[in-house]
Amino acid sequence: MNSAVARALYHALQLWRGEPVLAAMRDLRESRAWPREKLFMMQWERQKALYRHAFTTVPHYRDSWTKLGLTSASMTSREAWSRLPVLEKADLHQKSADLKSSRRYGGLASSTSGSSGTPVAVFRSHKSWAYHHANIFRGWEWFGIQVGDPYAYLWGLALDSEGKRQAWMKDGVFNRRRCSAFSLDRDRAVAFFHELRAHPVEFLYGYPSAVAQFAEELAAAGLDGRELRVKAAVTTAEVLKEHQRARIGEVFGCPVVNSYGCAEVGIVGIECEQGRLHIPIESVVVETLPGSDGYDEVLLTDLMNEAQPVIRYRIGDLVKREEDTCPCGRGLPVLGQILGRAGDTLELPDGRKINANLPSYIFKKHGKAGTVREYQFVQFRDGTIELRIIRGPAWTNNLVHEIGVEAREVLGVDVAVSPVDRIERVGRGKHRDFVRAE
């Protein structure tokens, strides 16, 4: 579909749905040249407005804040904001009705895939969705991409017929060609490559694991990904590892643009040309709780969701402390490197607990060397751990022993290393470094 036609169709459908994307895009364009101080002032005014709205119309917040002696006029400083109770995933499960505003808002529910083991749903207003999409489109514009431009979509796919029908309709509206992360083998990757050659796209979009696998399969098949002439490969929904970034960039000859967000709040950060994640503070508040080893825990607030406000929500992610400036010169603050889930832990047979992201450091050199394409730690009920590995093009059989030794050095326990041909996806097709066997 022609980009201009797709763009007009998209905006017409969003207007019909009641989602004010154009208004949100105008708001973001107006603020794009603002200095950081002015952006923070606008954000604070929106924080205070959301607080008053939540206190007045949302039972959960009114009850919990009243117990602290707060009133609708108590939000006088950012320090006061930082003393508000943290919203937990359990609250979204157990108090969903009490977290909704007494005022009626149009919108759509947004649910997580459950890849973290705790699926949750939030009813997000049309305005919340509009800013989510507008923030994504603003990030695309930094790389010369416009809404309506055709793109390749490496994502999950519903298994039922109705879900597939809806996916087909959405793919048409968004002007995208889908390749399911569930069935991305060598033959499918080659077929998808030729499909994209016949129907050119402007960029790739998908899970880091799926885009990286697409790159690996093309390279193994002797195909040159640079022939697709894409402007960028945009990744989201999983932690992008450095060896994945390097491999994707090498195969497709384009920038790899990471984005960060969640179903409960929407987009929280998108990388600029300098590779730094910028926070769209016009619509999102990002706070951190002090952690250890240079990483802090993330709290999120959606300033645009008045239907079911999400305020100071503990998403469960860890972020690296970094300098909050960027050579690109934009006023938007910078978010540090996302490590992954704070709650994901490997519990070893002796009772020790370690963050499940730690073992990923074993594979930095293997990913760069092309010896390991993908891996997953599986912990069984008896505490034993199996390390499943999809071999890369430079794999040699002696690596089973070498990686086993490295894993033992990191974990302090024996790990069974098992080369496999396929690693099962979870949720909507996401990859997880660590899973517990049922």
* Residues 63-115: tens digit of each pLDDT: 999 999 999 999 999 999 999 999 998 898 889 999 999 999 999 888 764 44
Instruction: Tokens for 422, please give them.
Output: 């396929």
Residue showing tokens 């979009």: 205
- Per-residue tokens: 407: 């894993």
Residues whose CB is less than 8 angstroms from the CB of residue 36 and which lie 6 or more positions away in sequence, other chains included: 331, 332, 333
CA 114 to chain centre: 13
**Cα first-last separation, the chain:** 45
Per-residue model confidence as pLDDT tens digits over 259-313: 999 989 999 999 999 999 999 999 999 999 987 777 899 999 999 999 999 999 9
123 three-class SS: strand
Looking at residue 426, what DSSP letter applies?
A: B
Lowest mean pLDDT: which of 1-5, 249-253, 284-288? 1-5
Q: For 178-194, write each residue's pLDDT tens digit.
A: 998 877 889 999 999 99
Kindly write down the DSSP assignment for every residue of 203-252, as one continuous string.
EEEE-HHHHHHHHHHHHHTT--GGGG--SEEEE-SSPPPHHHHHHHHHHH
Task: Give the C-alpha distances (Å, rounded to integers) separating 258 from 274, 317, 337, 390.
Answer: 11, 16, 10, 24
In the predicted structure, residue 357 carries a pLDDT above the cut 60: no
Q: What is the pLDDT of residue 40?
A: 97
Q: Tell me the CATH architecture of domain 345-436.
A: 2-Layer Sandwich (3.30)
Distance (Å, whole) CA 176 – CA 179: 10
Fold of 3-341: Rossmann fold (3.40.50)
At 320, the amino acid letter reads K
Q: pLDDT tens-digit profile of 140-162?
A: 999 999 999 999 999 887 656 78
pLDDT at 117 over 50: no
Consecutive H or E run containing 161: helix 161-173
3-state SS assignment for residue 307: coil
- 230-252 average pLDDT score: 92
Domain boundaries defined on the chain:
3-341, 345-436
Same fold, 3-341 and 345-436: no
Residue 116 exposure: Cα atoms within 13 Å on the Cβ side: 19
